[in-house]
Copies of this chain bind each other. A is one copy, B any other.
């Protein structure tokens, strides 16, 4: 500690929103260089390298082969797959001195695909599993939580290449198994959930989410074992209802009902019904949006959903990617004279209707359902409007927020919601990139067939803050042993030179046995300051060479549980080797 390049801070950094970020900065693991861009200090780099090593070992163990693509990539391959355009503002772009276009790779599908095309030509060469552990770049609109969502970060990305769908299935399963081993070894609390494949295309798709309140992803799970990222949840379409006995739709004056709450109050006052009172769930809310396609063209879109549901921005974006979506503002709204703010209804919505605006509805707005909704006139609503009879949407969309207790799509029970952060994503990419880039091989019959791919990512640098987030207390970090920056933190606690001498001797003995030791040999610091730093830094075992030395013992403390134990000096090396080697 007297020479380690570290300086612990007592104060939280001003820009740190989450505990892991605060603690990683305070304990001297990382420093901010620019928004979303960090420096690994020596302690942080050690933890990061431990994560990297575990990932590499497990990837090598399944026979995946490591290579390394550049981070600075030419435009051409991304042009071939249209991603140069689709990425929009999300990538860093630059020109070289000759004016040629480059990007800083956010993912490398194109490069992997082209490498296999370059080297391989026969079904006999497949399957092949390739991976890299590499610095990637995304120009995040809102970098946050330190390394959790940074703009320069390290990912392990692998791709599998197979001739057949069965082959892809086997490659997928092998990677899934490796991921389970990796996340188990890294030692965090995670859940595997169904996921969408986002901008990448593809079919089977699962995410490994670390369970964390500070996470950006929400996932659902049911008692019956269903688990999915909210973006992937498909609302079961209700069976069509008959409308033979439904009254005809009728428009009613509903003065001063600009909100759903005021509308429901009005309905219960002016149109009470016997079976049950009106609720927001009886109303059909229509939300107006503007989409921006990757090529820049803009398009209005209306979404209809039960009035008791909010639009979930992430679910909505998940359906529309890579199209960007924003609320329609008043200025834009005025361009559509048939739209009456606060009273917009399906009467004018739809590609074939007066507004011409595409109209997608929540799956619960299904054939035969009856709604109260805007009558497209100020202060008026229409009642008993039946979907399929009185209006026909252009399609459905999963945009409504999920709620605790919603039924699981597979009937396995009510859903619970929780938050997490994506640590891994595996999915069957299929033939999309192979088709765009012409990756074909000869099959057994000498016929050219397009290769099918799987895509498997892990956030390697992200793992550090995520594990920190799940492994800390009010005093500091508590690293799992597998990735801790050292095995033992030795504190020479006191001014007696003999204490330091004994601590140094112990440190040398432990190093000789292959343990990594942090030795706090700082001469002028009080034991209290050293203990505080040890708790903050979070090495799993803290050994105090202090007062007990006169009685021939040192104190061995478990950082996580706080348990202390006096161990005879003569036995402490064996004791610690035992602890570390498990």
CA A403 to CA B501, docked complex, whole Å: 61
Chain B residues whose CB sits within 8 angstroms of the CB of A93 once the complex forms: 94
Q: Are A42 and B66 in contact (CB under 8 A)?
A: yes
Chain B residues whose CB sits within 8 angstroms of the CB of A96 once the complex forms: 92, 139, 151
Q: Are B33 and A70 in contact (CB under 8 A)?
A: yes
CA A44 to CA B65, docked complex, whole Å: 12
Q: Are B63 and A40 in contact (CB under 8 A)?
A: no
CA A70 to CA B137, docked complex, whole Å: 11
Chain B residues whose CB sits within 8 angstroms of the CB of A70 once the complex forms: 33-34, 37-39, 152
Chain B residues whose CB sits within 8 angstroms of the CB of A104 once the complex forms: 72, 94, 104
Q: Are A5 and B67 in contact (CB under 8 A)?
A: yes
Chain B residues whose CB sits within 8 angstroms of the CB of A139 once the complex forms: 96-97
Contact partner, A71, options B31, B71, B119, Cβ 8 Å? B71
Contact partner, A5, options B31, B41, B65, Cβ 8 Å? B65
Distance between A141 CB and nearest chain B CB, rounded to angstroms: 7
Q: Are B119 and A6 in contact (CB under 8 A)?
A: yes
Indicate whether A297 reaches chain B with its CB closer than 8 angstroms: no
CA A172 to CA B378, docked complex, whole Å: 81
Chain A 429-443 interface 0/1 with B at a Cβ cutoff of 8 Å (1 = within):
000000000000000
Q: Are A71 and B128 in contact (CB under 8 A)?
A: no
Distance between A510 CB and nearest chain B CB, rounded to angstroms: 17
Indicate whether A484 reaches chain B with its CB closer than 8 angstroms: no
> A5 with B130: in contact, given A42-B65, A96-B92 (CB under 8 Å)?
yes
Q: Are B39 and A115 in contact (CB under 8 A)?
A: yes
Q: Are A152 and B39 in contact (CB under 8 A)?
A: no
Indicate whether A28 reaches chain B with its CB closer than 8 angstroms: yes
Chain A 132-156 interface 0/1 with B at a Cβ cutoff of 8 Å (1 = within):
0001010101000000000110000
Q: Are B45 and A67 in contact (CB under 8 A)?
A: yes
Q: Are B152 and A71 in contact (CB under 8 A)?
A: yes
Q: Are B118 and A31 in contact (CB under 8 A)?
A: yes
Indicate whether A401 reaches chain B with its CB closer than 8 angstroms: no
Q: Are B7 and A111 in contact (CB under 8 A)?
A: no
Which residue, A68, A96, A100, has most C-beta atoms of chain B within 10 A?
A68
CA A135 to CA B152, docked complex, whole Å: 13
Q: Are A68 and B94 in contact (CB under 8 A)?
A: no
Indicate whether A120 reaches chain B with its CB closer than 8 angstroms: yes
Indicate whether A188 reaches chain B with its CB closer than 8 angstroms: no
Indicate whether A89 reaches chain B with its CB closer than 8 angstroms: yes
Chain A 3-16 interface 0/1 with B at a Cβ cutoff of 8 Å (1 = within):
11111000000000
Indicate whether A102 reaches chain B with its CB closer than 8 angstroms: yes
Indicate whether A69 reaches chain B with its CB closer than 8 angstroms: yes
Instruction: Tell me the nearest residue of chain B to A124, going by C-beta.
Output: B2
Q: Are B111 and A33 in contact (CB under 8 A)?
A: yes
Indicate whether A73 reaches chain B with its CB closer than 8 angstroms: yes
CA A33 to CA B69, docked complex, whole Å: 8
Chain B residues whose CB sits within 8 angstroms of the CB of A152 once the complex forms: 70-72
CA A37 to CA B63, docked complex, whole Å: 27
> A74 with B128: in contact, given A5-B119, A115-B39, A119-B5 (CB under 8 Å)?
no
Chain B residues whose CB sits within 8 angstroms of the CB of A137 once the complex forms: 72
CA A48 to CA B66, docked complex, whole Å: 12
Chain B residues whose CB sits within 8 angstroms of the CB of A119 once the complex forms: 5-7, 28, 41
Instruction: Tell me the nearest residue of chain B to A161, going by C-beta.
Output: B5
Q: Are B39 and A68 in contact (CB under 8 A)?
A: yes
Chain A 85-126 interface 0/1 with B at a Cβ cutoff of 8 Å (1 = within):
000010011101100101010000001000100111000000
Instruction: Tell me the nearest residue of chain B to A94, going by C-beta.
Output: B94
Distance between A77 CB and nearest chain B CB, rounded to angstroms: 9
Chain B residues whose CB sits within 8 angstroms of the CB of A34 once the complex forms: 70, 72-74, 100, 102
Chain B residues whose CB sits within 8 angstroms of the CB of A31 once the complex forms: 115, 118
Contact partner, A65, options B4, B66, B115, Cβ 8 Å? B4
Q: Find residues 337-359 in chain A having any chain B CB closer than 8 Å to their own CB.
A: none
Distance between A280 CB and nearest chain B CB, rounded to angstroms: 38
Distance between A89 CB and nearest chain B CB, rounded to angstroms: 5
CA A38 to CA B137, docked complex, whole Å: 18
Chain B residues whose CB sits within 8 angstroms of the CB of A94 once the complex forms: 92-94, 104
Q: Find residues 320-370 in chain A having any chain B CB closer than 8 Å to their own CB.
A: none
Distance between A158 CB and nearest chain B CB, rounded to angstroms: 12
CA A94 to CA B128, docked complex, whole Å: 36
Chain B residues whose CB sits within 8 angstroms of the CB of A74 once the complex forms: 33-34, 37
Chain B residues whose CB sits within 8 angstroms of the CB of A115 once the complex forms: 5, 31, 39, 41
CA A279 to CA B37, docked complex, whole Å: 63
Q: Find residues 14-40 in chain A having any chain B CB closer than 8 Å to their own CB.
A: 28, 31, 33-34, 37-40
Distance between A518 CB and nearest chain B CB, rounded to angstroms: 13
Chain B residues whose CB sits within 8 angstroms of the CB of A130 once the complex forms: 5
Distance between A294 CB and nearest chain B CB, rounded to angstroms: 15
Instruction: Tell me the nearest residue of chain B to A120, going by C-beta.
Output: B7
Q: Are B40 and A68 in contact (CB under 8 A)?
A: yes
Q: Are A72 and B97 in contact (CB under 8 A)?
A: no
CA A73 to CA B94, docked complex, whole Å: 14
Show 13 A/B contacts (Cβ-Cβ < 8 Å), sorted by A: A4-B65, A5-B65, A6-B119, A7-B119, A33-B74, A34-B100, A39-B69, A39-B111, A40-B68, A41-B67, A70-B152, A72-B151, A97-B139
A89-B97, A97-B139, A135-B135 given. 7 additional CB < 8 A pairs?
A3-B63, A39-B67, A39-B70, A41-B67, A72-B104, A72-B151, A97-B141
| 3 cross-chain pairs, A with B, having the tightest CB-CB distances, nearest first | A94-B94, A34-B74, A7-B119
